[in-house]
Amino acid sequence: MTTSVSRYTAEYQTLAPTLPGHDLPWLQQLRQQALAEFSVQGFPSPRAEEWRYTNVSAIEKKLFAPVAKLTGGAIDREWLTSQQLADVWSVVLVDGHFSAELSVLAGLPDSVVVLGMADALAKQPDCLEAYLNKGVNNQEHGFIAFNTAWFSDGVLLHIPAKLALEKPVQILHVATHAEALISTRTVLIADDHAQASVIETFVGFDNAYLTAAVTEVFVGENAGITLTKVQCESAKAYHFGGTYVKQARDARFTHHNFAFGGLLARSDIHTDLGLASECELFGLYLGVNRQHIDNHTRINHLKPHAVSRELYKGVLDDRARGVFQGRVIVALDAQHTDSQMNNRNLLLSSDAEADTKPQLEIYADDVKCGHGVTVGQLDEKSIFYLQSRCIDEETARNMLTFAFANEMVDKIKIKSLHDLVLEQVLLRFPQEGVEKNWL
């Protein structure tokens, strides 16, 4: 056991009585099992194959601590409003704690359950006992076990059968404290034939802190969930975010992952596909300075006739490093699987680095699967073509860079979300000669 693991384990005994659901035997057993697993595993090591490109020793050198729940008055309302999207229902968590005062839920159908995880454990323990930790395995790596043991709050969103939400639900994670541990657990449930769009946004003040967030998604038969994650945290922050999905028969799941912030950030997106279900994973990661951004995806085709599509793009400048590990597993029983995976990386600096590792594991014999990877710099012929049209070289390079990223931005159909992502793209790369309306 490393020093940091032993320190967290020792601190846990003091923290445990303050965690939500401490009076629920099943949850206490789950937390204790996760604590034991974390004590053995610790934080992930590059010796593990799926973490070989990402070293989290910088996190181990610090001891992040949970912070007390803030009152709504402690947050600048004008700033908060700028982070809340227009025409959505907004659920706000501050430093890992749900804030009913700051959330905007007026007009949400009465049959839809939206609760902070602490409230949900008190009011709907049976529902959470049936779903919590059923979409994820604590033994997979230390961050998952860590979250299961330490989560302080989160969100339960349960959409009943045959209901289609007319507006998206935004879950806004706000970090305000330095050296804070922000560990949240979110459970999204769409019953049969339900439809919803959910947006998770992660923002924070200019501090060093650790976000450890796990989201479990359960998509019922013929239901559809579109989940978008926008991670634009502090340039000093550390981030782990895992999304783990279970899809029933004919279920449809679409995920957009925008990774912009953090000094070191890792995102897991894993989904299990049922019979004739469909899955789309899209991602854009932008790295500048010395950022390290890691994306790990896994698509498990467990049943026949399922379809998956995956496209991730990375733009890396300065000494930034981007990682993409995509894995598609086709089970023996998953005949007639149709799966395509692509990862494209654009390096703007000779010091930038992209590590990409696509994997196909196919155990069925009647499938259509493929993958493709590119890592390169801007095409000099394209730059020359634009210069021949009286565009200077710097502007030509900027235009081509933004055009590369625009494919992923353009997939967003919610205007306020599209504008938010576009602003984040423009913040991170030169804008000389680029018009906002081009994107």
Percentage of the chain beyond pLDDT 70 is: 97
Lowest-confidence region among 21-35, 50-64, 67-81, 237-251: 67-81
For residue 402, what pLDDT band results from cuts at 50, 70 and 90? confident
pLDDT of residue 311: 98
Contact between 195 and 166 (Cβ < 8 Å): no
Which of 168, 172, 180, 191 minimizes the C-alpha distance to 69?
Answer: 180
364's CB contacts (< 8 A; 6+ apart) are 330, 331, 332, 333, 334, 335, 337
Lowest-confidence region among 1-15, 19-33, 44-58, 346-360: 1-15
Contact between 186 and 154 (Cβ < 8 Å): yes
For residue 98, what pLDDT band results from cuts at 50, 70 and 90? very high
Residue in this structure with the two tokens 């899209």, named with its chain if needed = 282
Q: Over the chain, what HEC string results?
A: CCHHHHHHHHHHHHHHHHCCCCCCHHHHHHHHHHHHHHHHHCCCCCCCHHHCCCCCHHHHCCCCECCCCCCHHHCCHHHHHHHCCCCCEEEEEECCEEEEEEEECCCCCCCCEEEEHHHHHHHCHHHHHHHCCCCCCCCCCHHHHHHHHHCCEEEEEEECCCCECCCCEEEEEEECCCCEEEEEEEEEEECCCCEEEEEEEEEECCCCCEEEEEEEEEECCCCEEEEEEEECCCCCCEEEEEEEEEECCCCEEEEEEEECCCCEEEEEEEEEECCCCEEEEEEEEEECCCCEEEEEEEEEECCCCCEEEEEEEEEECCCCEEEEEEEEEECCCCCCCEEEEEEEEEECCCCCEEEEEEEEEECCCCCEEEEEEEEECCCHHHHHHHHCCCCCHHHHHHHHHHHHHHHHHCCCCCHHHHHHHHHHHHHHCCCCCCCHHHC
Lowest-confidence region among 17-31, 261-275, 350-364, 386-400: 386-400
pLDDT of residue 141: 94
Q: How many CB atoms lie within 10 A of CB 6?
A: 12
| Cα–Cα dist 120/156, whole Å | 7
pLDDT of residue 399: 80
pTM assigned to the model: 0.95
pLDDT at 83 over 90: yes
pLDDT of residue 357: 95
HSE value, Cβ hemisphere, 13 Å, CA-based, for 156:
23
Please give the C-alpha separations between residue 246 and each of 37, 48, 253, 256, in angstroms, as whole numbers: 23, 25, 9, 17
Encode pLDDT of 238-259 as tens digits: 999 999 999 999 999 999 999 9
Contact between 133 and 164 (Cβ < 8 Å): no
Q: What are phi and psi of 115, to 5 degrees?
A: -140, 150
Per the prediction, the chain carries an average pLDDT of 93
Encode pLDDT of 294-339 as tens digits: 999 999 999 999 999 999 999 999 999 999 999 999 999 999 999 9
pLDDT of residue 426: 86
For residue 181, what pLDDT band results from cuts at 50, 70 and 90? very high
pLDDT at 236 over 60: yes
pLDDT of residue 435: 60
Contact between 251 and 280 (Cβ < 8 Å): no
Encode pLDDT of 281-305 as tens digits: 999 999 999 999 999 999 999 999 9
For residue 391, what pLDDT band results from cuts at 50, 70 and 90? confident
pLDDT at 433 over 60: no
| Cα–Cα dist 104/434, whole Å | 35
Measure CA 11 to chain center: 27
Residue in this structure with the two tokens 């149709």, named with its chain if needed = 338
| Cα–Cα dist 6/12, whole Å | 10
> What is the residue extent of each domain of the chain?
3-273, 380-439
pLDDT of residue 62: 87
Lowest-confidence region among 33-42, 119-128, 417-426, 430-439: 430-439
Q: How many CB atoms lie within 10 A of CB 323?
A: 22
**Structure tokens, 288:** 């500048």
Question: Residue 436 corresponds to which amino acid?
Answer: K
For residue 429, what pLDDT band results from cuts at 50, 70 and 90? confident
| Cα–Cα dist 360/341, whole Å | 9
pLDDT of residue 285: 97
pLDDT at 87 over 70: yes
Lowest-confidence region among 188-202, 319-333, 349-363, 415-429: 415-429
pLDDT at 438 over 60: no
